[in-house]
Structure 1
């Protein structure tokens, strides 16, 4: 069996490059470089955005500290209470009007990771700030295959008027490489899968994909010989880890293949064309994308990721959970009991999708911890109450213990008005970035 194995080892085949999860023989390797050793296991950061705020009475715990009672919405993640912290009192000043009038939805997304106040325009002269994920990627992005990944469930737009004179670039992008450079998100799980398991060259990757589709082969079929050789040489614990990982890859690939088939009615005629590789059912789409997040982190393909459930001000209905009215319209509830109930139902649905990811991450072991424990994941919105359009006391969760740096299982109440960017400074520092200030921060949050 191998006494040493580099963290960068991959299984290769024709047009396929299959990165490996963290194995014990990697952790014990004496041949690792200093950079690899300090990144063992690597720390990940991620940001998940939901639109239109929350029904806050069903979100905010009454008690601070440990063993707080879960309000109705957070009951959906009761199984993960010990893995998260609820953060209250954080504020996004850049999302406020500051004399610019309407446009809170667009500003709430544009400012969520930048802390900046975006210029009000629906033309080409957009102006925002660099986002925390991209600022951190400048320091540590070269340590993984992809400096960052930008994902979501609804496509980005780079032009148009989306919210009271604000460009659609603000409303549909939360990751910004620079003040005028929004990072479009990928919404097709198949496309993400292809990126994660691409070969050495574009030509080889395309050829392998064509063969897989023609002969219905898996990416694993192309790297099978390499996988068998490695499997035979590994100790028992690592063989089990490798088996679990390869099973997960094949399972995701099968589900992607199933999603790509057309549905047929009784006459054998397709009842709808499948759009751009994206599953029609939102829960299936979301779960596949969460699988991509898990694989991206598990294989150390990236350590930095952002994810938008939908774009700002989304008026999508959720008929799959009995909500036929539009999300945005419901968020302007005017204290209607019916509308607030519907909003809470949508909030719980989004949290269910997030809980699926938490479960996937917690099931992956990395050394003495789990993949979830080796992460720090922000979940929330840049609006608190959708009816008030307020940007203080935001609904924010922080999942994962950042490899033991955070004590989890608490409700932390900060003074209302504490900049959300104070949290981002702390996160950047944990990732190894030399950051003392970011956005509108006025200090570093205490966790």
Structure 2
């Protein structure tokens, strides 16, 4: 069996997870080993600083109140304190920090569309090398449309709030916010004509069912179990996407101008979108259950890694300066950005902390899913480095020093996890990005203000 086999059906291509049947070819040296993946999860608006940092250093640390939902993953974590992006010190507000989070550079101040990050983001450096052997070089996901207009408080275009991935210094990669479109990018081919419309209306798994049955008849019991688990996970995500789409009027959340940018959108989705206006899109997205939206997107990232459709992915829980209302959380009454400007008011600080903790819980959900998936002698998380953080520490002060950052997984890739590491003030955040790149086998001599990786991580 080739290292990467495909189940093919009308309008669908379903990549397989790594199976024991593929081991002989891997042992022969065609792929060397199971792949290493990089995931980057971005949380907007910073954290409550006095409730983020763990107590104690090294392996003898106690998770902070905000990070406590990750207790069961304690041995797979690296919590890092003291890191910063020096290039983001210039310029007030959020945008300089967001735009340069993965580049380590200073963005160009502008109120127009001529945005520039000044460098390539680390995920795209990874995609240039790791993406050569996958269906998608990288996968960028989010939950909110690209921000528009000008923030007159700081005189920056709001476009910077929506992008952390930069293919070149002047080409940002927008996040896909529609789960159905992201699913189709992974598992469907674009319809070329009306004759494939019927196939487009079927489940992806229905389209490849005969091929799946033939393959299962040739596999051992262990591989059959793996394949069943994988196919059921695909089916589960597909069901949830369809349920959310139905609740939103069969996908009315896409505006015509967005359709032009989605080259993988098939005929059925285009028809469902109709002639929705931008205002209709925003209203529809507001009705989308935010928690389920985030979890579906993270499940898509997990499927993309599991099937080796991509080895590099990023996810933005929201645009920076997002005013998303978190009143769905008990004890929270207001928007995220407003509560992050707490002015040391105890009531606001408590609500801010609850929003931070909610984001950490979602991160933990993704780690749970990855750890459940067996791969080789370990699990999917063992060979994935999943970073979670924000480019500012305290949202009230817009503080770019000592940024909140956590890494999970990567134990079988070479990371020494289960530690809280405190670095000298001023240590470059980009040193961590270099560690992750080199652990994944990507050459990175320097990035931003970092000339080398951080000590003690590998």
The normalised TM-score by structure 2 is 0.88
2:78 to 85, 89, 93: 85
- 1:221 to 1:30, Cα distance in 2 relative to 1, 3 A: same
Q: Is the 8 A contact 1:61 1:411 kept in 2?
A: yes
C-alpha displacement of 1:203: 2.1
1:185 to 175, 194, 205: 175
- 1:350 to 1:233, Cα distance in 2 relative to 1, 3 A: same
C-alpha displacement of 1:389: 1.4
Map of 1:25-174 to 2, 5 A cutoff?
A: 25-29=21-25, 34=29, 36-38=30-32, 40-97=33-90, 100=91, 102=92, 104-128=93-117, 129-157=119-147, 160-162=149-151, 164-174=154-164
Residue aligned with 1:398, SS: strand
Q: Is the 8 A contact 2:386 2:408 kept in 1?
A: yes
C-alpha displacement of 1:127: 2.0
**Aligned-partner Cα distance in 2 for 1:20–1:253:** 16
C-alpha displacement of 1:279: 6.7
**Aligned-partner Cα distance in 2 for 1:169–1:30:** 44
Alignment partner, residue 298 of structure 2: 290
1:226 to 211, 236, 244: 211
**Aligned-partner Cα distance in 1 for 2:416–2:26:** 31
Q: Is the 8 A contact 1:419 1:440 kept in 2?
A: yes
**2:388 aligned with 1:379:** yes
**Aligned-partner Cα distance in 2 for 1:110–1:435:** 20
Q: Which ranges in structure 1 are unaligned for 5 or more consecutive residues?
A: 265-272
- 1:281 to 1:325, Cα distance in 2 relative to 1, 3 A: same
**Aligned-partner Cα distance in 1 for 2:389–2:452:** 21
Bigger mean CA offset, 401-410 vs 385-394: 401-410
**Aligned-partner Cα distance in 2 for 1:362–1:208:** 37
Q: Is the 8 A contact 1:188 1:276 kept in 2?
A: no
Alignment partner, residue 319 of structure 1: 327
Q: What do residues 8-53 of structure 1 show as CA deviations (whole Å, max 9, x unaligned)? A: 2011111111100010111222696x4x422x31000011111111
**Aligned-partner Cα distance in 1 for 2:195–2:447:** 44
Residue aligned with 1:156, SS: coil
Q: Is the 8 A contact 2:3 2:31 kept in 1?
A: no
Q: Which ranges in structure 2 are unaligned for 5 or more consecutive residues?
A: 250-279
- 1:223 to 1:182, Cα distance in 2 relative to 1, 3 A: same
Alignment partner, residue 197 of structure 1: 187
Q: Is the 8 A contact 1:122 1:161 kept in 2?
A: yes
The normalised TM-score by structure 1 is 0.90
Q: Is the 8 A contact 1:66 1:410 kept in 2?
A: yes
- 1:317 to 1:148, Cα distance in 2 relative to 1, 3 A: same
Alignment partner, residue 13 of structure 2: 17
Alignment partner, residue 268 of structure 1: none
**Aligned-partner Cα distance in 2 for 1:284–1:435:** 36
- 1:31 to 1:365, Cα distance in 2 relative to 1, 3 A: closer
Residue aligned with 1:203, SS: coil
Alignment partner, residue 268 of structure 2: none
**2:248 aligned with 1:248:** no
**2:17 aligned with 1:8:** no
Q: Is the 8 A contact 1:189 1:278 kept in 2?
A: no
Q: CA RMSD in A?
A: 2.1
Q: Is the 8 A contact 1:260 1:279 kept in 2?
A: no
Residue aligned with 2:94, SS: helix
Alignment partner, residue 315 of structure 2: 307
